Amino acid sequence: MLDIKFVRENPDIVKENIKKKFQDAKLPLVDEVIELDKQARALQQEADELRAKKNQIAKQIGALMAQGKKDEAEVVKQEVAKNAARLAELEKQEPVVKEELKQKMMVIPNIIDPSVPIGKNDEENVELEKFGEPVVPEFEVPYHTEIMSKFNGIDLESAGKVAGNGFYYLMGDIARLHSAIISYARDFMIDRGFTYCIPPFMIRSNVVTGVMSFAEMDAMMYKIEGEDLYLIGTSEHSMIGKFIDTLNPEESLPQTLTSYSPCFRKEKGAHGIEERGVYRIHQFEKQEMIVVCKPEDSMDWFHKLWKNTVDLFRSMDIPVRTIECCSGDLADLKVKSYDVEAWSPRQKKYFEVGSCSNLGDAQARRLGIKVKAADGTKYFAHTLNNTVVAPPRMLIAFLENNLNEDGSVNIPEVLRPYMGGKDVIR
């Protein structure tokens, strides 16, 4: 959410930003929020003046009564009653206008970084850099569920009976590999100075609306019926929520946390064959990283975060590349975002395995995450998040890139301690 003062003073910049995101339908919102802000300030000013006048008149009545001027005092009392009725009316109107203003403000997208490429959708995202040499083996690489099935490592049929489409059972060495990747990712991030955390897996609605746009919320979140709780779609939501309504001493920043959690997503819409199996599912596990920092440090942290994911994948000899999301592919709260994509020998192309985002002060402004400087001034923090690893997609990249012609799968050295010392599974 933008600062209303910024919108008030820079309407043209806000409108131009909306155009860059190809959301022209939101352009009228700028003038609407400016008008609502004007109304809200006028209501507050009038209410404040009536409250001040109430105190003055109270003294005036006391003076008149002391002088025995009861008739004059009664006239003044009538004015008090009239003012009280108007004040009550204003106190009803003021929160209604402010709430309408807030709801419209939350729909206006954040100001994107000047470095973000302009484009309508993900087809116009920009490749930045490749890490590692993509390899296409001479033998045919099967679909990932076929690889898993040969290890008796996946059961989609039973999961479908138990929970429906979009769920799975992982078994044996495949399940162990899944856990090994999570454990390795946890230790990888701890070694890089992040504090490990296991957060709540449900969050309240005020946290949900604090960390994401309404459109994202509708597309992703599962609501707990009869309660003000949602299942998390990613632990970053719960982790950022940890700082709700806090005033953080400047010297305590940055806060760097890495978290494990299951994730639950609706994943609306139909998807192609390459997004079946364990690629796009309703439940999965993930290791995440978040940072709460000073505004001047957020872009440095942004580059540190996506490099962590690249380094993790490269430590397992998986080729990756970074993609910068164009303006039209950025969620409304994001200032800048990179996707990390892993190489698929089967598809002979890259596919998304992680996303790194700088959200500026958008989440902090919604959730009330403030910083107190040494001189006593207060300001909103910046928040960032990035996927360390999400094993379902990571498993696809891992199995395809480590598959041997005989169907066995090599285990990279960094994972062997988590796999009982095995260097290959058969």
Q: Are residues 70 and 131 in the same domain?
A: no
Query: Domain range holding 189?
Result: 122-425
Q: Are residues 96 and 145 in the same domain?
A: no
Q: Are residues 128 and 176 in the same domain?
A: yes
Domain count of the fold of the chain: 2
pLDDT tens, 355-398?
Answer: 999 999 999 999 999 999 999 999 999 999 999 999 888 999 99
pLDDT tens, 383-394?
Answer: 999 999 998 889
Last residue of one domain, picked from the residues 65, 80, 105:
105
pLDDT tens, 183-237?
Answer: 999 999 999 999 999 999 999 999 999 998 877 888 889 999 999 999 999 999 9
Angle made by CA atoms 258, 201, 219, in degrees to the nearest 5? 100
Q: Using CA atoms in the order 316, 321, 322, 327, what is the torsion angle rounded to 10 degrees? A: -140
pLDDT tens, 53-66?
Answer: 776 766 666 666 66
How does DSSP classify residue 209? H
Q: Are residues 19 and 160 in the same domain?
A: no
Distance of CA 8 to the CA centre of its chain: 26
The answer to whether residues 258 and 309 touch, using CB atoms and an 8 Å cutoff, is: no
Asked if the structure places residue 112 within a domain, the reply is no
Helical axes 11-20 vs 27-66, angle rounded to 10°: 150
Asked if the structure places residue 111 within a domain, the reply is no
The answer to whether residues 230 and 221 touch, using CB atoms and an 8 Å cutoff, is: yes
Angle made by CA atoms 213, 218, 223, in degrees to the nearest 5? 115
Q: Helices marked H in 151-297 — which ranges?
A: 156-163, 172-191, 205-211, 214-220, 235-241
Q: Are residues 348 and 403 in the same domain?
A: yes
- DSSP-derived 3-state class of residue 19: helix
Provide the percentage of residues in the chain whose pLDDT is more than 90. 81
Q: Are residues 240 and 319 in the same domain?
A: yes
Q: Are residues 157 and 252 in the same domain?
A: yes
Q: What is the pTM of this model?
A: 0.89
CB-based contacts of 210: which residues, under 8 Å, 6+ apart? Answer: 240, 241, 244, 363, 366, 367
- CB-neighbour burial class of residue 96 (10 A; exposed 0-12, middle 13-18, buried 19+): exposed
Give the per-residue pLDDT at 273: 43
Asked if the structure places residue 319 within a domain, the reply is yes
Q: Are residues 75 and 198 in the same domain?
A: no
Q: Are residues 256 and 357 in the same domain?
A: yes
The answer to whether residues 384 and 290 touch, using CB atoms and an 8 Å cutoff, is: yes
Last residue of one domain, picked from the residues 43, 78, 105:
105
- The sign of the CA dihedral 231, 224, 282, 183 is positive
Last residue of one domain, picked from the residues 105, 132, 152:
105
